[in-house]
Structures are given as structure tokens and as C-alpha cells.
Amino acid sequence: MLSRTAENLFWMARYMERAEATARLLTMGQRMAILPGAHHRDEWRSVVRATGALNHFPEGAQVTESDAIAFLMLDLDNPSSIRSSLLKARANAKSARTMLTQDMWEALNEGWRKLDSYDVAEARQQLPALIDWVKTRVMTFRGAAHSGQLRNEGHDFLRAGSALERAQMTLRLLDIKYYVLLPETEVVGGNRDHYQWTSVLYALSGARAFHHVYGGTYTPWQITDFLMLNRLFPRSVAYCYDQLAYRLNRLAGWHDARAACHDTVREMVADLEKLDSGEIFRAGLHETVQSGLMSTNRLGVEIAQAYHFG
């Protein structure tokens, strides 16, 4: 497979995953913003911070719901906005068209200019419907790939890109909750703390799965354990790391060569296996999350180097 094709598949999956993750962040922002006193706490700034793009807003200025929707959903100048992500995913798909099934292409191609017709006021008014539309588009694409694509190296690049992006978003959501949303003066374990933790679960569609594993008790330690370490939940960091290790090992087999990325992902899996939720909080959730983000960023660079992207 040409490196250019591998890069297009890898990044197409990342952009689709990013579009869905940003839609989920907007859902989380809406849930946070309806809590009493939210207008004093600037929850939407926390949501923007989770995307790593807070530097686009003036320091100290409040970020409104309209600001967040404009920036995270519609702004073509923001490379991580939903609109930008979907456009880039389609551009990648066009360049790797022969590697996609007809269903995968249609999932990307149908309605791809939908967001062009919305301004901020209309998008804000129809936000739940637009978020559902984005999630449906991404899930249709994912289902088409799962049911019809050959399990060749192209599929492995696609799944590796998706797992990398998903791990990063789960880490960012954990960071935004523990480090940003709860001011030091708030009592940990209070009603708002509880609501924010459960909002993280809902944003990741993990509420029902969590209840199945832990029952009806919601604590920061259990939710962190679930989202970081549970190997069965498909949005947990551990599951994504396992997927990355599996896909990169298959790619090493296809190419009969190993590189730094294969050692890095093995270390990431091994390091996570040593942890439990108590150890994560003793070391500091923020510090653990930041370490995870640095590792995933490094892995992305090493994958690009190993397979000659760009």
C-alpha cells in the first residue's frame, strides 16, 4: 500500500472520530450549562479547553454557548471543528476512494455540505438534532467499515487512527472534569460534582455500561477506573490502547518490520496495566491524564514516521 493511501485512511478515521467526539463535547457542555450558577462558572470555556484550542479565545473573557457552537461546530478556520473535520475526512476519502466500500463512501458523501447552510443562531436552536446527525453519520460510516471492508492493512490503518483519536478524547474529558470544572472551593462528592461525573459518562455513551459493571453507585474513583482501565468498554483508554497495540502488531506483520511506534504502544499498555484507580488518584488524575496525552501524541508522530506519512 502506498504511504499516501495509508495516511489518508488513518486521518480519515481520526477526523470522523474527532467530529463525533466534538459533538459529544457540545452535549456535555449543554448538560453542564443548565446546572444552577453555571453562568458564573464559564463551563463552555472548559469545553473549548478540552479540544486544546482555548488559545483562540481571549484570556479571562467568558465563552458563551454561541461562541462554543460557532467555534466547535461551524468554524472552518478551526481545524478541529465538526465542519472542518467532516470536510477533511471526505477529502481523505476521495484520495483513498478505491480502498472504501460503496457504503463507506456514501456515509461520508451524503449531506456533507449540510452544515454550510447553518448560521450560529440556527445551529444553536437545532443543536440536539445536529449533534444526532453528526453521530449518526459517523456511526453509519463505522458500521459500513465494520461490515464490508476487507480486513487488510487499510482496515488496520483505519482502526488505528480511530483508536488513537478516541483515547485522546477520553483522556481530555477526564481532565476537563477533574482539573477544570470543579473549583477548589467546591466540596468533592457534592451534588454538582456527582452530576458532572455522570455527565462525562453520558458524553461517552457509557452510563448504561457503567451501571452494568458497578451498579448504581457513582464515585469519581469508579468512573475513572471505568474510563481509564476497563478493557471491555470501547471508549476506555485501556480498550483503545489494546486496539492500537493489536492494529500496529498486524501492520508490523504486513510490512515485516517494526519501528519505534511498536515499542511505544507496548509500553503504553504495560504502564496502564500497572495502575488501579487508587494509584491514579494518588499520583494525580491530571498528571496521569497529561502523561497519557503525551504518550498518544508521541505515538501518532511515530506512526507517521514508521509509515512515511507526509
Residues 25 and 48 placed together within one structural domain of the fold = yes
What mean pLDDT is predicted for residues 54-66? 84
Kindly indicate the confidence band of residue 112, based on its pLDDT and cuts at 50, 70 and 90: confident
Lowest-confidence region among 114-118, 183-187, 286-290: 183-187
Residues 223 and 107 placed together within one structural domain of the fold = no
| Predicted local confidence at residue 218, as pLDDT | 83
User: Could you tell me if 228 and 212 are in contact, meaning their C-beta atoms sit under 8 angstroms apart?
Assistant: no
| Predicted local confidence at residue 190, as pLDDT | 66
d(CA 310, CA 109): 25
| Predicted local confidence at residue 197, as pLDDT | 83
d(CA 194, CA 304): 40
In this predicted structure, the answer to whether residue 56 has a pLDDT above a threshold of 80 is: yes
End residue of a domain, out of 100, 130, 147: 147
In this predicted structure, the answer to whether residue 50 has a pLDDT above a threshold of 90 is: no
d(CA 39, CA 224): 27
End residue of a domain, out of 93, 125, 147: 147
Which residue range forms the structural domain that includes residue 216? 150-309
| Predicted local confidence at residue 199, as pLDDT | 83
Lowest-confidence region among 86-95, 101-110, 170-179, 264-273: 170-179
Kindly indicate the confidence band of residue 116, based on its pLDDT and cuts at 50, 70 and 90: very high
What mean pLDDT is predicted for residues 274-299? 91
Per the model's pLDDT, the better-predicted residue between 285 and 35 turns out to be: 285
Residues 16 and 124 placed together within one structural domain of the fold = yes
Residues 33 and 95 placed together within one structural domain of the fold = yes
End residue of a domain, out of 131, 147, 163: 147
Question: Which residues are within 8 A (CB) of 48 and not within 5 positions of it... i.e. 6 or more apart?
Answer: 54, 56, 57, 63, 67, 68, 71, 72
Residues 59 and 33 placed together within one structural domain of the fold = yes
Residues 64 and 169 placed together within one structural domain of the fold = no
Written as nine digits, the cell of 251 is: 501492520
| Predicted local confidence at residue 68, as pLDDT | 93
What mean pLDDT is predicted for residues 249-254? 97
Question: Which residues are within 8 A (CB) of 84 and not within 5 positions of it... i.e. 6 or more apart?
Answer: 75, 76, 78
Kindly indicate the confidence band of residue 184, based on its pLDDT and cuts at 50, 70 and 90: very low
Closest by alpha carbon to 233, among 265, 271, 200?
Answer: 200
Residues 140 and 158 placed together within one structural domain of the fold = no
pTM over 0.75: yes
Enumerate helices (H) and strands (E) in the chain, giving the number of each. 16, 0
Residues 201 and 131 placed together within one structural domain of the fold = no
What mean pLDDT is predicted for residues 165-187? 73
d(CA 104, CA 109): 9
In this predicted structure, the answer to whether residue 182 has a pLDDT above a threshold of 80 is: no
Number of compact structural domains in the chain: 2
What mean pLDDT is predicted for residues 124-130? 94
| Predicted local confidence at residue 139, as pLDDT | 95
